[in-house]
C-alpha cells in the first residue's frame, strides 16, 4: 500500500470504506461500478448533482420488471393490484427512511423535488397577511415559491441564519443560540391587513435546505421547532411574524447522508428526489407532508386519479379525500416507483450512518489537502467556501467541497478552466452557482450591483463568463457519494497540484507562459529569427461552418477573409447553430468550390448523390432573416426544402442551410474579438494560421507522453485537426506566437492573438467514423496554457481597407509557395 493511502487510513480508517458493513468499498466498486473503470478510470465527483446507480441495483430492477406485470393502478385488474401493492410498499419505504409515522405523514409521489416544491407553493393557503420566509442559501426551486406568495398579496423575505459554533450530530440547540438577520421585505400588493390577520386563519411558510448544495453546510434541524414555536422572538416583533408558521425542508441534497428524522423535527413538508439518493430512477421525487398540513393545501387543477366524480357540462367536481390520491395528478410513474425499493436496499445494507461517515472522511481529507496547497512563493492556492471558523449555518458539513483557485500573483482562476482541464483528466465535476444564487452571492461576496453588472456584461446561468472584472461569477464543486473512493479524491488532488500549483517563480517568456510557470528554453521563444525564411505551405477554405474544407493552390481574398470561407452554416429547426461540438458527424461532410463553374459541391457518406449549390444567386428572390451569432447581427439567406432535406440526412437531424448576405459586421455584445473586421461565420477571426514546426513539436510531445504513460501507439495529428486557413513553415516552433503582423505577397495581415483551443480538436475520424479522445488538447494544456486559455495557432485580420473593389484584382490572391514576411514584437 502506498504511503499516502496508509496515512489517510491511519486518520480515517475507522470511518472510511464501511469497516462494519457487509462489503468494503473496494468490493463495492469492483462489483457494482465496473463502468467507471471501463471508461478509462473515470472519476465522478458530481454526486450533489446526481449520484450513480449501482449495477447490482439495476440488475434487480430489470429482474423485477421482467418477472412481474405491472398495470395502470387506476383499475381493478390483477396487474393493477400488483402495481397498487408496489406503490403502497414504496410509500412506506420512503416514510421509514425519514422515520416518519404513517399516522402523522403521507408520501405524495411527484416528478421530482422541484415538482414537490411547486405543489406546496401552488396549494399553500396564502393570504394578504401571510409571509414567506426563506434562507439565503436555497435552490432556485425553493425561491420560485416566492412567486406564488407575492402574487397572492403575501410578503416575502430572505434571512441569514447562524449560530455561534457548529454542533455535533444529534445534539439540540437552545433557541437563544440562533441568530437571524432579515433581508428587505418584498411585496407586490400594497393592500395588506396587518390588524385583522393575526389569528389561526393566517398561515406563513418558512423554507430552508437540510444541506446547502453550494457549500455543503448543513442546517440545524432544530430550526423546525424554533420557527413553529418561537417565531415572534426570532422576528423581533415584526408584523410579518403573526399567525401560524409552517416549515418546508428541501432535503434533495442532504437526505443521502442525513435524512431529517421526522419523529424529532416535525416539519410540515419535506421535498426529496430519488436520483440524488441512489441514481435511479430519474424524473421521480416525493413530497412528505404532515397530515394536518396536507388538509390546508388547496389544489386548483384536477385530473384523472384525483377526483371521485366530475360533470363535463357543469361546474361540479368531487375530489378524492385520500391525501396521496388528491395530489398525484394523472397516472403516477408506477414502474419507477416500483424500482425505488432496490435503491433503498443498497442504502439499507450500508446504513445511513456508514454512508455519512464514509463520505465525511473523503470530504474532510480533500478539504484539508486543498487548504494546505501553496504556490512556490507561499501564496494560497485554494479558497474553500463554507469553511468559516466561527459563525456557520449551525451544523456539520455534507459531502461537498466548493472552492475557487488562485494563481501565485493572487488573480483568480476561472472555474471553466478548471472544468475543462478536469474533463481532459477524466474527472467529472460541477461549476457555476449550482442554481443557488443566494449562497453564491453570499460566499463570493457579490453585491446586488455586482450581480447586475455581471448580467449586463452578458453573464447568465451555464455560460462561460466565469470571471468578470477579475472576480469569479461562480465556483468549482466536487461532491462524494457512497461509492466514492480514496483513489477518486487522490486523483483529484493530484490534478489540482499538477495543473494549478506553481512550482517556480513566474518569469515572463514571450507568449509561452503556463499556469504552472515553467521556464522554457530558447527553442520555445517567439522571436523573429533573421535566418528564418517562411513559406506558405497550404491554403484551406471551409465554405460551411464546422464542415470539412478543401485545399487550394491559390485562392482569392475578400474583405471577409478567404473568399466564401465559412459563408454558410447549418442551423437546427429550433434555431441552434450546429457545430462539431454537438454534431461531430459534420466533419464527414466534405465541400469543394468551383469558382469557374460558380458552384459549391457537397458530399456526405450518408447521401447517395452529391449536392450542387450555385454561388451566384439573385438575393432579391431569396428569403432572408436576421440572426445573432458570436455577438454579430447577421443577415442570412435561406434555401429550399430539397437542400435542407439533403443536410438533414447528412447529419441525421432536421436542419437548414443558411448563407451569409456578406454584410455581417454589426457588433452587438459578447465574445467576438474581430470588432473592426467584416466576417462571415467564424468563431473569432477571419484567418487561423499555424506552422508545421509547431505541429511537429506537438507530435513529439504526444509521442513522449504516450511512452511515459505506456499508452501504446501515440496520437499523431496533422494540421487539418486544427482547421487552419493558412499553414506556414520555415522557423522555430511557436515562433508565430510573437508575430504582430505579416505580409504574404501583396497582402497584409494583423495578428489579433493566439487561438484558444477547445475539445473540438480532439475529434478525429477514420473510415467514416468519428472518434473522440483526450488528445491533443490534454498535451497542449500541459504547456500552452495562458490565463485559462489553451493557445495554439494565431488569429489574423486581413487589412483590405474594407473596400471590396480593392480585393477583386489579380494581386489579391494567396498562392502556396509565397514567402511569408512576419514582424515581431
Query: Which residue numbers are catalytic?
Result: 435
Residue 642 dihedral angles phi and psi, to the nearest 5°: -65, -45
Please say whether the beta carbons of 285 and 271 come within 8 A: yes
Beta bridge partners of 641: none
Locus of grid cell 357540462: 313
Task: For residue 28, give Cα distances in angstroms to 33, 58, 491, 790.
Answer: 7, 14, 19, 38
Burial 11-23 (b: 16+ CB within 10 A, else e): ebeebbbbeebee
Three cell numbers, residue 185 = 421585505
Which of 691, 783, 695 is CA-nearest to residue 731?
691
Task: For residue 566, give Cα distances in angstroms to 206, 438, 667, 684, 805.
Answer: 55, 43, 18, 12, 21
Three cell numbers, residue 630 = 458570436
Helices (DSSP H) in 101-166: which residue ranges?
Answer: 113-123, 140-143, 145-151
Which of 213, 474, 499, 497 is CA-nearest to residue 366?
497
Locus of grid cell 435552490: 139
Show Cβ contacts of residue 261 under 8 Å, excluding neighbours closer than 6 positions. Answer: 98, 99, 221
Distance CA 105, CA 288 (A): 7
Distance CA 625, CA 637 (A): 7
DSSP string, 638-699: E--HHHHHHHHHHHTS-EEEEEE-S---EE-SSS-S-SSS--SS-SS-SEEEEEHHHHHHHH
Beta bridge partners of 726: 539, 689
Per the rule left: phi > 0, alpha: psi between -120 and 50, beta: everything else, 383 is beta
Distance CA 193, CA 202 (A): 11
Angle between helices 3-12 and 486-500 (to 10 degrees): 120
Distance CA 786, CA 46 (A): 27
Tell me the three state secondary structure of residue 24: coil
Distance CA 364, CA 361 (A): 5
Greatest alpha-carbon pair distance for the chain in Å reads 94
Amino acid at each position: 500500500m502506498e504511503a499516502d493511502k496508509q496515512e489517510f487510513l491511519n486518520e480515517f480508517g475507522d470511518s472510511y470504506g464501511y469497516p462494519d458493513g457487509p462489503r468494503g468499498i473496494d468490493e463495492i466498486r469492483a462489483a457494482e461500478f465496473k463502468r467507471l473503470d471501463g471508461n478509462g478510470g473515470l472519476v465522478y465527483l458530481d454526486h450533489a448533482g446526481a449520484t450513480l446507480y449501482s449495477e447490482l441495483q439495476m440488475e434487480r430492477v430489470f429482474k423485477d420488471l421482467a418477472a412481474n406485470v405491472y398495470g395502470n393502478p387506476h383499475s381493478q385488474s390483477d396487474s393493477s393490484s400488483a402495481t397498487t401493492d408496489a406503490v403502497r410498499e414504496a410509500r412506506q419505504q420512503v416514510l421509514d427512511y425519514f422515520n416518519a409515522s404513517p399516522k402523522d405523514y403521507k408520501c405524495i409521489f411527484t416528478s421530482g423535488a422541484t415538482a414537490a416544491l411547486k405543489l406546496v407553493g401552488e396549494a399553500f393557503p396564502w393570504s394578504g397577511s401571510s409571509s414567506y420566509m426563506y434562507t439565503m442559501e436555497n435552490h432556485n426551486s425553493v425561491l420560485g415559491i416566492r412567486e406564488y406568495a407575492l402574487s397572492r398579496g403575501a410578503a416575502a423575505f430572505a434571512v441569514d441564519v447562524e449560530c455561534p459554533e457548529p454542533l455535533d450530530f444529534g445534539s439540540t440547540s437552545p433557541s437563544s443560540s440562533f441568530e437571524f438577520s432579515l433581508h428587505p421585505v418584498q411585496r407586490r400588493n400594497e393592500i395588506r391587513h396587518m390588524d385583522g390577520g393575526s389569528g389561526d386563519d393566517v398561515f406563513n411558510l418558512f423554507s430552508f435546505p437540510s444541506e446547502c448544495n453550494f457549500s455543503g453546510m448543513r442546517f440545524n434541524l432544530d430550526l423546525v421547532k424554533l420557527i413553529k414555536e418561537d417565531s415572534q422572538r426570532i422576528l423581533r416583533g415584526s408584523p410579518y411574524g403573526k399567525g401560524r408558521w409552517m416549515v418546508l425542508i428541501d432535503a434533495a441534497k442532504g437526505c443521502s447522508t442525513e435524512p431529517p428524522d421526522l419523529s424529532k423535527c416535525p416539519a410540515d413538508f419535506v421535498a426529496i428526489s430519488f436520483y440524488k439518493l441512489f441514481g435511479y430512477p430519474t424524473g421521480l421525487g416525493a413530497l412528505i407532508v404532515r397530515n394536518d398540513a396536507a388538509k390546508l393545501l388547496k389544489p386548483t387543477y384536477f385530473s384523472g386519479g384525483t377526483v371521485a366524480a366530475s360533470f363535463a357540462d357543469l361546474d361540479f367536481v368531487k375530489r378524492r379525500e385520500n391525501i396521496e390520491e388528491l395530489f398525484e395528478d394523472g397516472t403516477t410513474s408506477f414502474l419507477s416507483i416500483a424500482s425505488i425499493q432496490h435503491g433503498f436496499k443498497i442504502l439499507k445494507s450500508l446504513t445511513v450512518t456508514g454512508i455519512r461517515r464514509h463520505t465525511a472522511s473523503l470530504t474532510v481529507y480533500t478539504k484539508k489537502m486543498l487548504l494546505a496547497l501553496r504556490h512556490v512563493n507561499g501564496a494560497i492556492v485554494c479558497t474553500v467556501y463554507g469553511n468559516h471558523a466561527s459563525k456557520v449555518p449551525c451544523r456539520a458539513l455534507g459531502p461537498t467541497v466548493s472552492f475557487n483557485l488562485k494563481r501565485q500573483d493572487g488573480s483568480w482562476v476561472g472555474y471553466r478552466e478548471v472544468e475543462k482541464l478536469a474533463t481532459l483528466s477524466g474527472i467529472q465535476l460541477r461549476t457555476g452557482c449550482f442554481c443557488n444564487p443566494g449562497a453564491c452571492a453570499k460566499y463570493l461576496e457579490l453585491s446586488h450591483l455586482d450581480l447586475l453588472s455581471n448580467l449586463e456584461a452578458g453573464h447568465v446561468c451555464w455560460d462561460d463568463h466565469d470571471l468578470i472584472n477579475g472576480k469569479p461569477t461562480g465556483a468549482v464543486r466536487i461532491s462524494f457519494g457512497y461509492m466514492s473512493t480514496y483513489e477518486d479524491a487522490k486523483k483529484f488532488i493530484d490534478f489540482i497540484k499538477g495543473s494549478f500549483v506553481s512550482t517556480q517563480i513566474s518569469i515572463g517568456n514571450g507568449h509561452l507562459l503556463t499556469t504552472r510557470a515553467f521556464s522554457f528554453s530558447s527553442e520555445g521563444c517567439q522571436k523573429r529569427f533573421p535566418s528564418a525564411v517562411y513559406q506558405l505551405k497550404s491554403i484551406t477554405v471551409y465554405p460551411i461552418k464546422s464542415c470539412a474544407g478543401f485545399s487550394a493552390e491559390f485562392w482569392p481574398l475578400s474583405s471577409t477573409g478567404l473568399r466564401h470561407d465559412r459563408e454558410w452554416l447549418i442551423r437546427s429547426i429550433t434555431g441552434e447553430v450546429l457545430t462539431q461540438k454537438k454534431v461531430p458527424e459534420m466533419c464527414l461532410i466534405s465541400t469543394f468550390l468551383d469558382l469557374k463553374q460558380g458552384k459549391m459541391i457537397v458530399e456526405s457518406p450518408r447521401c447517395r448523390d452529391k449536392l450542387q449549390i450555385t454561388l451566384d444567386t439573385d438575393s432579391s428572390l431569396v428569403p432572408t432573416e436576421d440572426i445573432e451569432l458570436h455577438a454579430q447581427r447577421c443577415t442570412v439567406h435561406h434555401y429550399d426544402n430539397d437542400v435542407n432535406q439533403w443536410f438533414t440526412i447528412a447529419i441525421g437531424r432536421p436542419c437548414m442551410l443558411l448563407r451569409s448576405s456578406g454584410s455581417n459586421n454589426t457588433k452587438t455584445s459578447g465574445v467576438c474579438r474581430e470588432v473592426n473586421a467584416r466576417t462571415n461565420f467564424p468563431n473569432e477571426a477571419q484567418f487561423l494560421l499555424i506552422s508545421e514546426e509547431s505541429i511537429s513539436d506537438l507530435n513529439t510531445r504526444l509521442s513522449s507522453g504516450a511512452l511515459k504513460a505506456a499508452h501504446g501507439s501515440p496520437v499523431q495529428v496533422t494540421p487539418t485537426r486544427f482547421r487552419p486557413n493558412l499553414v506556414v513553415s520555415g522557423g522555430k516552433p511557436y515562433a508565430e506566437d510573437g508575430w504582430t503582423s505579416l505580409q504574404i505577397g501583396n497582402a497584409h495581415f494583423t495578428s489579433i492573438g493566439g487561438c484558444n483551443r477547445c475539445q473540438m480538436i480532439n475529434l478525429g475520424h477514420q473510415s467514416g467514423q468519428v472518434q473522440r479522445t483526450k488528445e491533443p488538447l490534454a498535451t497542449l494544456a500541459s504547456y500552452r496554457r495562458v490565463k485559462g486559455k489553451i493557445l495554439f495557432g494565431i488569429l489574423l485580420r486581413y487589412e483590405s481597407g474594407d473596400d471590396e473593389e480593392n480585393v477583386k484584382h489579380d494581386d489579391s490572391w494567396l498562392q502556396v509557395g509565397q514567402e511569408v514576411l512576419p514582424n515581431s514584437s
